[in-house]
Structure 1
């Protein structure tokens, strides 16, 4: 026991000079990336060496390994409430969501150490706290190989895109199938970051740029945040990277085969990390280094971009705080919310681009013409950039949503998001707006473990509904308003409905026997002349329907009290007028 205590005290008293804080990237040949365990062990040593560092285990991921958050706080304060009172800005840096794209893992280790050891850099943490997720997709990081990132120029070995359950975690921020995503939501909601960086690597066309960048789509941000992002933050980052000889360009999502056709800004829906962050008025960035560039260059470019990000946040701390405060306040009183977006092709700008001439030659495999980029023929030009989206579907927010307690998966997600929930204290009949799912499309193949819905068409009916003691009432007067609307409105791109949370309501549970229902149907039509006229009109207008006896009986059945009113009834109700409820 004495020996254990002695060793423990020696570790705690170790100085930065006596601990090995060189990273696996530095110890290697510029083409090595840290494993998950190497990264965690290294951050542990950093925690031991500096009182300004605290590594916090947040819980176990699908891999059975712990997800950690590393906090770097210059004044040694690690209490988020206290830091917010001190008017500190939080930069959340996430690495290894796709562990085959590992630059961020290594660059952030170098960054954290250098900001602690170099006085000039340390001063940039005066108003900024770093919150670092060393490796997010731990299961993928453990699945190490040298082949799955086909054509990537290093490192020698790396992780795999899918997590321990083969989910792409950058599609999981709303559906939350993975333990990783649950833990991320706890981190994000606990720390409420002002700025978020999710480090990645890109493939695609070849060009001279080492770094490309996806910022939060500005049309989806509150105007105060969008204005700061577009007019101040992005120009600063672009100028800084150019000065460092890493000129940036927006992420290359090409409109044609080559960059000359132009590129389209990435519209991140909330399934993606930066799309989720935007729901909470956090400015998000997804740096995408180019996989064909040497790994050492990609790490350096990622390092430099994060350095410029920190200095910009430190410089503009008050501006960012003011813009976020205005955005949060606006969301509390906002009445109309966009749900779907469309690219505005009439709005285009020209951006500088450093490329290689695209050429064609016969393929040695197929014998047909194939594309290649001639690196001996670099050029500088401008290309079209489409960076404007307009909302195509909007919704008026209700006073509250009422969610039957039976839908526990939804309730658990809302609790994870720290949504304020109230519960009915007795059975109550309430007149509410109800959606009926009139039509929708479903993917023919599974996507990230789901058969995703889209193209949802709704019919709204106002009617009294019986709710039970214990059902949940969610008022739209809280900072989670955008999250609530974009998950609980079925037409939203990443709604819980589209992710199959409510599929049980889409299946009819009760039916009829035709030969028995014949007499009852005749009686129903006799008592309802208007329904009989509608039936006759439909037969006249639809020849197939006129020949189908079962379809005609179905028509009568669906328009009778015998048809279950819950079929296709979306369970979440919309309370449109303030009512005093037994809460």
Structure 2
């Protein structure tokens, strides 16, 4: 059995790139054991050295602040040194955006990108890969976490010897910060992403979870969420090419190993990346996103080399499919401009599945030496390859129609600033206007009982919609969802029902609290008078009492109900301050 397994591993051994000159070896390459990842200082110094030696092809710049106080860096690799996005697009070049170190304890992409950038510059035969693709690299996104170097926090992981920490300087997981953008890192990233508007976005990671034979697994943007042309291109052209090329490079891949049952054989489930995650954010702008996830239990060296080969494969494939990718994105942009209904929440469609040949290890249970209770283990002496169901389709569960514009009071400046940062155009009203608008009122929602990334996140939002004639003031903002607008981004942030809306993340929590109330003994007489003068209100109260015995026995609850349904109840309580305008032209 061991001989068979060894022969299998030798068959899968990758072909490594030619050894670089000693002066250009990275810290990873200088370690004979292949168990060292670059420090932040070493990483940036390496790119500075490349920029000085190859200014005709590599541009290095600071791209904004981070919470650590160190600048985010932008590395641009191009055939002719062109680092201008508009010029790059005029030359009909695709843009591949690679981001590393969002979780610095998962550092393979940091080292792989250093090596890839060097080889693209130094190996003459490789420079043709930049003929119609420009590569943008963020060497390290979570600089804060990379500076917090240790050897213990990735307890499930096999190397490297030391690495960074998952959280940033504010203890935020930056891969949950793409919509709320509380960190300076995320704000600088958004500006850089909007500047380049890439065709493909890749963010490098290391997995957690089950044990299996693969070194590389892959999360791709959920195709159901993309515009039809883009989702079809992803499924039929891009993904098959990536899987085929990686297999040829001796790195067979599988979709990211996520499952509901006890082991992967129970069926793999695609990862639904809502916009809080990098690939979910990218999808809002018709950018196809990928998270290559190397397997935590494989040694660090093969994890780095597989990441290197994946990034090279992506560059090769984007170049080969340049025209098809451009056509799919153009069709997606046209679809979005014409789209009238947008999905806001999704659920797995378990009536549909694909089948993948999965390379795993037999799993079983044995007594735990800690508790004595049965514990799961995977037997690496018992590898298998067998068909496994892969559930890779999601269906929308909540939708909303596209308004002509959202109207946002200028008091909500943080919201306005975030929208602008992400490509939205806000037009201040030139004068006061009174117009009919759709207004949401919060009827019910669930809130997480524990803090999640600094917030108590809302979900399962139930709204009551009214049409109200409302006055908006000079300087309030109109955000039009015209053909040029990032409509999907606007819908998924400003519709409170959406999974990662600004409401879900607590941007509007102040409207959920009453600012005025009543004294029972005072309001009793007012409430009685209200019911005498409004028979319809009295009838509604009696119907509620008849339908709910507990309510009928609760005097304070009935008094509260009368108050909430009276003119004394403040209009702003539970009223969403962003209004939907359905008119034509411009608000006047």
Specify the SS of the correspondent of 1:20: helix
- The TM-score normalised by the length of structure 1 is 0.95
Q: Which deviations, in whole Å up to 9, do the C-alpha atoms of 1:456-490 show, x marking residues without a partner?
A: 00000001111111000000113411100000000
Determine which of 24, 27, 32 is the counterpart of 1:24: 27
Q: 1:476 corresponds to which residue? A: 481
Q: 2:277 corresponds to which residue? A: 272
User: 2 CA distance for matches of 1:518 and 1:259?
Assistant: 62
Determine which of 423, 426, 432 is the counterpart of 1:427: 432
Determine which of 52, 66, 88 is the counterpart of 1:48: 52
Q: 2:493 corresponds to which residue? A: 487
Contact residue 355 and residue 388 of structure 2 kept, 8 A: yes
- Map 1:372-411; keep pairs closer than 5 Å: 372-411=377-416
User: 2 CA distance for matches of 1:89 and 1:188?
Assistant: 14
Q: Relative to structure 2, which stretch is displaced further, 447-456 or 374-383? A: 374-383
User: 2 CA distance for matches of 1:89 and 1:199?
Assistant: 20
User: 1 CA distance for matches of 2:369 and 2:287?
Assistant: 49
Q: 2:10 corresponds to which residue? A: none
Cα deviation, residue 580, structure 1: 4.5
Does residue 527 of structure 1 match 2:530?
no
Does residue 170 of structure 1 match 2:181?
no
Contact residue 212 and residue 249 of structure 1 kept, 8 A: yes
Q: 2:37 corresponds to which residue? A: 33
Cα deviation, residue 502, structure 1: 0.2
Specify the SS of the correspondent of 1:531: helix
Determine which of 564, 567, 574 is the counterpart of 1:561: 567
- Map 1:151-550; keep pairs closer than 5 Å: 151-477=156-482, 478-550=484-556
User: 1 CA distance for matches of 2:261 and 2:379?
Assistant: 18
Q: 1:513 to 1:579 in 2, by over 3 A?
A: farther
Q: Relative to structure 2, which stretch is displaced further, 550-559 or 479-488? A: 550-559
Q: Which deviations, in whole Å up to 9, do the C-alpha atoms of 1:391-432 show, x marking residues without a partner?
A: 011110101000000001100101111211111111221110
Cα deviation, residue 254, structure 1: 1.4
Cα deviation, residue 554, structure 1: 1.9
Q: Which deviations, in whole Å up to 9, do the C-alpha atoms of 1:246-302 show, x marking residues without a partner?
A: 100000001211111111000000000000000000010000000100100001100
Q: Relative to structure 2, which stretch is displaced further, 520-529 or 238-247? A: 520-529
- The TM-score normalised by the length of structure 2 is 0.95
Q: Gapped runs of 5+ residues in structure 2?
A: 1-19
Cα deviation, residue 556, structure 1: 2.0
Q: 1:580 to 1:372 in 2, by over 3 A?
A: closer
Contact residue 331 and residue 479 of structure 1 kept, 8 A: no
Does residue 552 of structure 1 match 2:555?
no
Contact residue 438 and residue 466 of structure 2 kept, 8 A: yes
Q: Which deviations, in whole Å up to 9, do the C-alpha atoms of 1:300-344 show, x marking residues without a partner?
A: 100111111101100111111111111112111210000000101
Cα deviation, residue 553, structure 1: 2.0
Contact residue 425 and residue 485 of structure 2 kept, 8 A: no
Q: Relative to structure 2, which stretch is displaced further, 464-473 or 509-518? A: 509-518
User: 2 CA distance for matches of 1:353 and 1:321?
Assistant: 33
Q: Gapped runs of 5+ residues in structure 1?
A: 1-16
Q: 2:587 corresponds to which residue? A: 581
Cα deviation, residue 18, structure 1: 9.8
User: 1 CA distance for matches of 2:541 and 2:260?
Assistant: 49
Specify the SS of the correspondent of 1:373: strand
Q: Which deviations, in whole Å up to 9, do the C-alpha atoms of 1:155-204 show, x marking residues without a partner?
A: 11000000011100000000111000000001100001000100000021
User: 1 CA distance for matches of 2:21 and 2:46?
Assistant: 14
Considering only aligned residues, what root-mean-square deviation do their CA atoms show, in Å?
1.3
User: 1 CA distance for matches of 2:64 and 2:22?
Assistant: 27
Contact residue 328 and residue 479 of structure 1 kept, 8 A: no
Specify the SS of the correspondent of 2:378: strand
Specify the SS of the correspondent of 1:257: coil
Contact residue 212 and residue 290 of structure 1 kept, 8 A: yes
Contact residue 356 and residue 373 of structure 1 kept, 8 A: yes
User: 2 CA distance for matches of 1:175 and 1:403?
Assistant: 17
Contact residue 19 and residue 49 of structure 1 kept, 8 A: no
Contact residue 21 and residue 45 of structure 1 kept, 8 A: no
Q: 1:125 to 1:338 in 2, by over 3 A?
A: same
User: 2 CA distance for matches of 1:18 and 1:534?
Assistant: 83
Cα deviation, residue 22, structure 1: 1.5
Q: 1:555 to 1:579 in 2, by over 3 A?
A: farther
